[in-house]
Structure 1
Amino acid sequence: MAPALEVEEGAQTPAVIKLVPVIDVEEDARRVFHILKTGGVAIIPSSVGYGVVATDPAALQKVFVTKRRKPHKKHAMIGSYALHQELHVLPPREAGMVKLLTVDLSLPLGVVAPFRPDHPIIQKLGEDMLSRSSVDGTLAMLVNGGPFQDELSRLAAEAGLPLMGSSANLTGKGTKSLVEDIEPEIRNAADIVIDYGRRQYSYPRPSSTMYDFKYNKLLRFGACYDSIRDVLNRFYHINLPDDPGRDVLFSGHLGELANQY
């Protein structure tokens, strides 16, 4: 993020100059991608909180260890609607649900769905990393996570690299909406941190609502859940439960399968 100069109107000579921060999503994404493709780790903003990402298997393992992540916990793919269409395999009804939520209504969503194992990006993961990133033939992908995530995902996809990661926090400590709340161990593990301030969807829950489109069931309460719940009920007659709140269910995970993501 580079400062821009702004001169106050009517200022006496010498002019009063203020530094105005300017966010350049494309340039920031290029800087991050350069580090990722050379084996680095990055902390990046999404609309639902800060994530820690990598493309190199050794860097992903570093993330896994630093987060103190248990062996059954999986990496997710940091993606976009375009990448979801390339990698995930869904029947027309379920494909329409994803489009309605993430494109037509612009809601962030963790999409869990069967994937194309022969796709070059999946092949680039390798057997070991794929086993650490998939459950029961499904792959989780954060879709519509915001402009920065979309641009970084585009760069990675064009290079044929899998952009993988998880929330930037120690396991079990909750997704962070501010960089300064990220634990020092996680920040120190990153080669670059992109700080865009407080993330948009931090209340009542950060992190993404996660839905399993293979079995049509909710896996995790997360950001924009009430809107997602209403849409699925209104247009698809799918009844989802009330979010019990973070005090009752801090992680938001529902069931054994959800706990793996």
Structure 2
Amino acid sequence: MGAPDVKTDARRVFEVISAGGIAIIPSSMGYALASSTTEALEKMFKTKRRGAQKRHAMGGNFALHQELHVMRPEHEEIVRCLTQDFDLPLAVIAKYDQDHPMFKHIDQPTMEALTVDGTLAMLINGGALQDELANLMREAKLPLLGSSANISGTGTKYVVQDINPEILDIADIVIDYGLVKFGYHGRSSTMIDFSGPKPEIVRIGVCYDVIKDHLKRFWDIEIPPDPGMSALPSGHLKTLPPLESLEKLVSVH
């Protein structure tokens, strides 16, 4: 027994994902399913019984965010400060470089399920394993894609033992780091859209109270109060219309 070897674990996950497999990995907010191919994403989507209004998520780190996202300098500084100076997890939505080689081999339906109106959402500061894995994926020009490791509607899982058996069954590798850092929050990452003239909250999540305080304190930006878990358990302030391609996918049994 002893401390986990994050670099070795990231390499093991990378080898599985780059070969077309599916991984379950810990982030600081909960366990996630991760892959990089359309076939794996479709398998995950159907197993999760995910709604057609949902989108695929992208895992990353600050370096990948800088490489892919196209942002106003003042918004870039906010992201840098929140994620680097204050070490807060954050899902960033922003315009992105659509010609980047990372997206070269992704088919159109998958890109439609990954992006919204020319924007891309990426989780930054998901933890040491995600940061290391994102570096490997970045070097290989492969996207790190997925969503939470759960059946939709059953809540984020904070320990491997709570992950639904159907989800565990589709994974080619499971990295178990025990209870995740922000498990007590009961929500996923806070998601902010930086594609417009001012930041817009899409989802209230982990560390939202700290993010709200810092946006007001340092940039005089007001964002909505958190109505609480009982009033808004998902944290979502915005929902997307269903995609036809995902409706077809979830209708196939």
Q: 1:220–1:258: 8 Å Cα contact kept in structure 2?
A: no
- Residue 252 of structure 1 is matched in structure 2 by 235
**Secondary structure in structure 2 of the residue aligned to 1:254:** coil
Q: Which has the higher contact order (CA 8 A, sep 6+)?
A: 2
> Residue 221 in 1 paired to residue 204 in 2?
yes
Offset of residue 198 of structure 1? 0.7
- Residue 171 of structure 1 is matched in structure 2 by 152
Comparing 70-79 and 91-100, the one that deviates more: 70-79
- Residue 15 of structure 1 is matched in structure 2 by none
- Residue 142 of structure 2 is matched in structure 1 by 161
Q: What's the CA shift string for 1:66-120, capped at 9, x where partnerless?
A: 1111222111111000000010000101111100111111100000111110000
Q: 2:187–2:235: 8 Å Cα contact kept in structure 1?
A: no
Offset of residue 126 of structure 1? 2.5
Offset of residue 205 of structure 1? 2.9
| Code of the aligned partner of 2:200 | K
> Residue 97 in 1 paired to residue 78 in 2?
yes
**Secondary structure in structure 2 of the residue aligned to 1:117:** coil
TM-score, reference length from structure 1: 0.89
Alignment partners' CA distance in 2, 1:185 and 1:228: 35
Gaps of 5+ in 1: 4-20
Q: What's the CA shift string for 1:130-182, capped at 9, x where partnerless?
A: 11101111111000111100001111111110110111111122211111111
- Residue 67 of structure 1 is matched in structure 2 by 48
> Residue 197 in 1 paired to residue 178 in 2?
yes
- Residue 7 of structure 2 is matched in structure 1 by 26
- Residue 121 of structure 1 is matched in structure 2 by 102
**Secondary structure in structure 1 of the residue aligned to 2:184:** coil
Q: 1:116–1:122: 8 Å Cα contact kept in structure 2?
A: no
Alignment partners' CA distance in 1, 2:102 and 2:194: 21
Residue 35 and residue 71 in structure 1: after superposition, are their counterparts in 2 closer, same or farther (change >3 A)?
A: same
- Residue 111 of structure 1 is matched in structure 2 by 92
- Residue 25 of structure 2 is matched in structure 1 by 44
Offset of residue 47 of structure 1? 0.7
Alignment partners' CA distance in 1, 2:234 and 2:53: 16
**Secondary structure in structure 2 of the residue aligned to 1:124:** coil
TM-score, reference length from structure 2: 0.91
Alignment partners' CA distance in 2, 1:65 and 1:259: 15
Moved over 3 A (4+): 257-260
> Residue 132 in 1 paired to residue 113 in 2?
yes
CA RMSD after TM alignment: 1.5
Gaps of 5+ in 2: 244-253
* Percent identity over paired residues: 51
Alignment partners' CA distance in 1, 2:29 and 2:158: 7
> Residue 243 in 1 paired to residue 223 in 2?
no
- Residue 247 of structure 2 is matched in structure 1 by none
| Code of the aligned partner of 2:134 | S
User: Greater CA radius of gyration, 1 or 2?
Assistant: 1
Residue 109 and residue 43 in structure 1: after superposition, are their counterparts in 2 closer, same or farther (change >3 A)?
A: same
> Residue 211 in 1 paired to residue 192 in 2?
yes
Alignment partners' CA distance in 2, 1:173 and 1:213: 29
Offset of residue 235 of structure 1? 1.1
Q: 1:46–1:148: 8 Å Cα contact kept in structure 2?
A: yes
Residue 167 and residue 259 in structure 1: after superposition, are their counterparts in 2 closer, same or farther (change >3 A)?
A: farther
**Secondary structure in structure 1 of the residue aligned to 2:133:** helix
Alignment partners' CA distance in 1, 2:216 and 2:240: 23
